[in-house]
Amino acid sequence: MGTRRRPLPRSFWYSVGIAVLFNSLFLALVLIKPGTKHQFVVADDMGQALGWLLATLFCFVGFEKLRQGRHTRSNTIPSIPMAQQWVPILLALGIFCQFIGQVIYTYYDMHGWPPFPSWADAGYLSTFPFLLLGILLLPSRPLSGATRSRLLLDGFIIMTAVVTFSWYFILGPTMLQGYESSFAEVVGSTYPFFDLVLIYFMLLLWFRSSDPLLQPTVRLLLLGLTIVVITDSIYAYLTLQNIYANGLQDVGWPVGYMLIGLAAQCISLARDQQNILSRTVPVEGEPASQDAAFDAPLGKHSFLPYAFIPAVIVLSAYTWRTGGNGVLVQGVYLGGMVLIGLLLLRQFFAIRETTFYNKELRSTQEELHHKNQALSAANKRLEEQAAQVAAAYEQQVRLNELKDQFLLNVNHELRTPLTAIYGYLELLREYHGQLDTTMQTNLLNQAVHGCEELQHLVNNVLDTIRGDIAEKAPVFDFFSVAAIASGVIDLFEPQKRLDYTIRLDIPDTLTVRADKQYVQRILLNLLSNAFKYSPKHSPVIIRAQLRDFFDAQGDHESQVCICVQDAGLGIPPSEIPLLFGKFVRLKRDLVGSVRGTGLGLYINKQLVEAMGGSIWVESSGIAGQGSRFYFTLHSAPLIAINEAWKVPMAQDMVVPLVNTNLVPIGEQEAIVRSNESA
């Protein structure tokens, strides 16, 4: 948002109105030329004096505005530096000196032809120091060394061109005019010299002023000084030609100095607009790099020095063609040569400055490239983090769904043994004393079996939640695979064994080194799943054989591979990768009649890996072809075979039946093991 400019105060518009009215009347005076020639000359002189007096009053109004603002300024707005507050007074003193000189000159005109030099010249010449000091005290921004050198060189080029013209038309003829005394010659040469210095200071002001709030002040001041210098030059030229007479050119002095007085009032206006002069409070909306932008080698100021070159070339050609005073012509040639040298020097600085800015541009581009790379990397990290957050959110949603499904499954699994236990105990209570001992024992055994099944189910859930399934180190022993498999089969109800064709394909001498309780629990879970997902009277086969395996280092090891095969519905290959996860169930079982907690295979995996083996499944997902679950155990050395036959009978095993299921969730690509079947 740009700076909102305040409307100009009434005092400024009153001053503008007075200036327009006065200069209109003065212009009418010089055009009409009333009265005699002497009366017109006196009236012209008095009109100029009155114009300078009004311009002085304009400057004092500006100073008064600054003084009032100094007492009413808010504490949040920094004050204008004291030196800059004296600018209106210095301008007023300079114009007032011009007024004093004009009053003296009018007095001489009223009493005859004015002498030269005179006290009027003292007043006129005293104007320039005050004006120059006022211009110097105007606020300007700090410049870099390269920019200062460039501006200084541009100023010299312009001044060389102006001095060349002034030498040929004004300064040179003035010095060669031949005054009555040396003092008169010095005074006569001082006027064009001060005008040249004033032009140089105007160039400095034009180059160094970039504050937008000071532009009204700078423009009015430059316009006023330009009119004054042009009027002085016209006066000097006409005087040298002995053709000067009071007339239209005299309007330039009051117009120029009144514009300077209005410029003094605009300084207080700039202070009111957020006090840009102090340079301590940035204007809202202005970029912080404003000064740096002005330091650029290209811009409106860069072409100004070249504008004077064609004029000097034309003047040099004119003097060469027409000749004239040798001193004046030589001065023009000298000015042209100096100008050419300065232009060559400026080109050298321009090339060096362009090289510097090219390096800065490349450095900026490299920095921008690095920042873009860093930004791209940051964006990539943000995208990855966003993807991780989205994945975590989806996983959390899925876990919530699994939790709800798990609670439903566990509820069903807990109710099943509880219902059986309640039924057996209810029969015992209802027919107490009517049942024989054998029947009572059978009912009690069934109730105890249900309690053991319930306890095992609860332990599975608790172990899974706590993550301590295989927390205790397994107790390794040597035992026969065939014997332990037969014992596990005997743990199932007789009716269950009659409903399926159970076949063992295990060599009697095949022994393993493992934890008996772990192996029993694994086989119980696998057989329970096989019975649960296979149609009745279908075969359930338990195979085991010795295989050679190679680890990642290429070391050979013989292991026993045990396989439990069924002829059930099978497992879709797309769901195999997540099959051994926690609380995982097949999609078809989420709405089917087969219940389960989704913990059996997860527990098996933990137990097998605790004994140093591995477990996997092979299935095509085609109904009737079933599934084959494999797990490996360390084989026992031959010397331990005799010990392996000392396996307890099934009735001595304290491993209750586990009614668990294992199924994966989610849509995943199948990874089917290609091991040959057992």
Q: What is the DSSP letter of 592?
A: S
Residue 168: the pLDDT is 79
* CATH number for position 500: 3.30.565.10
pLDDT beyond 90 at 7: no
Q: What is the pLDDT of residues 199-222, one digit of tens each?
A: 877 777 776 666 666 778 888 888
Place of tokens 């860093």: 374
Whether residue 383 is contained in a domain is answered as no
More confident residue, 571 or 176: 571
Average pLDDT over residues 216-240: 86
Distance CA 92, CA 50 (A): 14
Over pLDDT 70: what percentage of the chain? 75
Q: Are 664 and 575 in contact (CB under 8 A)?
A: yes
Average pLDDT over the chain, rounded to an integer: 77
**Pair of tokens at residue 539:** 């075969």
Indicate the pLDDT class of residue 69, thresholds 50, 70 and 90.
low
Number of domains in the chain: 2
Q: Which residues contact 247 (CB under 8 A, 6 or more apart)?
A: 30, 33, 44
- Among the listed ranges 137-146, 357-366, 378-387, which one has the minimum average pLDDT value? 137-146
| Final residue before a domain boundary, out of 249, 281, 313 | 281
**Pair of tokens at residue 244:** 């000067």
pLDDT beyond 90 at 466: no
Residue 663: the pLDDT is 32
- Most confident by average pLDDT, 49-53, 61-65, 147-151, 551-555: 49-53
pTM of the predicted model over 0.75: no
Residue 71: the pLDDT is 54
pLDDT beyond 90 at 450: no
Residue 221: the pLDDT is 87
Q: Are 101 and 121 in contact (CB under 8 A)?
A: yes
Residue type, 592: G
Average pLDDT over residues 130-152: 73
Distance CA 63, CA 81 (A): 14
Residue 144: the pLDDT is 64
Q: What is the pLDDT of residues 165-202, one digit of tens each?
A: 777 777 777 667 666 677 777 777 777 778 878 887 77
User: Which residues form the domain of 497?
Assistant: 474-652
Residue type, 582: K
Three-state SS letters, 624-651: CCCEEEEEEEEECCHHHHHHHCCCCCHH
Residue 376: the pLDDT is 93
Whether residue 416 is contained in a domain is answered as no
| Final residue before a domain boundary, out of 250, 281, 312 | 281
pLDDT beyond 50 at 479: yes
Whether residue 260 is contained in a domain is answered as yes
Whether residue 202 is contained in a domain is answered as no
Residue 79: the pLDDT is 52
Whether residue 418 is contained in a domain is answered as no
Whether residue 447 is contained in a domain is answered as no
Give strand pairing partners of 548. 558
Residue 483: the pLDDT is 92
Indicate the pLDDT class of residue 463, thresholds 50, 70 and 90.
low
Q: What is the pLDDT of residues 13-43, one digit of tens each?
A: 898 999 999 999 999 999 998 888 888 888 9
**Pair of tokens at residue 390:** 């989205």
Residue 658: the pLDDT is 37
Whether residue 659 is contained in a domain is answered as no
Distance CA 636, CA 511 (A): 5
Residue 146: the pLDDT is 67
Over pLDDT 90: what percentage of the chain? 21
pLDDT beyond 60 at 296: no
Residue 350: the pLDDT is 81
Burial letters for 537-569: b for 16+ Cβ neighbours within 10 Å, e otherwise? ebebbbbbeebeeeeeeeeeeebbbbbbbbbbb
Indicate the pLDDT class of residue 514, thresholds 50, 70 and 90.
very high
| Final residue before a domain boundary, out of 255, 281, 307 | 281
3-class secondary-structure state, position 275? coil
Whether residue 391 is contained in a domain is answered as no
Q: What is the pLDDT of residues 362-421, one digit of tens each?
A: 999 999 999 999 999 999 999 999 999 999 998 888 777 767 766 766 666 677 678 878
